[in-house]
Amino acid sequence: MIPLYAYRDNSCDPRKCTVKRLEKAGLIRIVPKIAAIPRNSLILDPTAEQALSPADRPVRSITALDCSWEVLDTGMIRGWRLRRALPFLVAANPVNFGRPWKLTSVEALAAALVILGERDQAVLVVSSCTWGNRFLELNEEPLGFYADARDSTEVLEIQNMYL
C-alpha cells in the first residue's frame, strides 16, 4: 500500500470533507501545512506540467491538496520535485457529478492509485464515500487505458481520445 497524505486548509465543510472521511477510516494522514508534506511524496497538482502515469510507480507516497485552488499559493508547490496532474476523468461526487476534472480528493487519490497499479487500495479509498464506487465505474475505461500506458506522453495521447 502506498501511504497517503493530504494538506488540508480547512476551507471546506468538515462534515462533507472527503479527506476527513479517509482520516477517520485510518487511510490517510492530514498535514497542517505544506512544509509538513514528506519531500519524497508525489503531489497531485492540476497545474503540473506532467501527467501521472505508470512510470511514476516507484513513488513513496501520494499527497492530495485538499484546499481551494483559488486561494492556494501555488508558488509553495511549484518547486516540488514530484508534481503530477491527473488526466481527463469525470467526477461522480454529488456536487460535480458528470463534470470533467472536478474531482474530490478521494476521487483524485483513487484515480492516482489505479493508474499506479494499486486498484485494491483505490477501492478501499472510494469505499469511504457512498458514491465512491460510482467514480470507478464511470471512469473504468479511461482508468484502464491510463494504467496500461507506458509514460506521461502516452497518457496524454489516451486523454486526447476523450476530449
Report pLDDT for 79. 65
Q: In a structure prediction context, what are the per-residue pLDDT tens digits for the chain, which is 163 residues long?
A: 999 999 887 666 666 678 888 999 999 999 988 888 998 999 998 888 899 999 999 999 999 988 655 545 555 566 667 899 999 999 999 988 999 988 999 999 999 999 999 999 999 999 988 999 999 999 999 999 999 999 999 999 999 999 8
The answer to whether the CB of 39 falls within 8 A of the CB of 95 is: no
Residue 37 is part of which domain span? 4-162
- Which pTM was predicted? 0.91
Q: What is the DSSP letter of 99?
A: -
Chain-centre distance for alpha carbon 2? 13
The answer to whether the CB of 91 falls within 8 A of the CB of 132 is: no
Cβ-proximal residues to 86 (8 Å cutoff; 6+ apart), any chain? 44, 46, 51, 52, 101, 103, 108, 111, 112, 115
Instruction: Indicate the number of domains in the chain.
Output: 1
Report pLDDT for 73. 53
Assigned C-alpha cell, 69: 485552488
Cβ-proximal residues to 151 (8 Å cutoff; 6+ apart), any chain? 53, 54, 55
Write out the DSSP string of 34-66. Answer: GGGS-TTPEEE-TT-SSB--GGGTT-S-EEEEE
Amino acid at 89: L
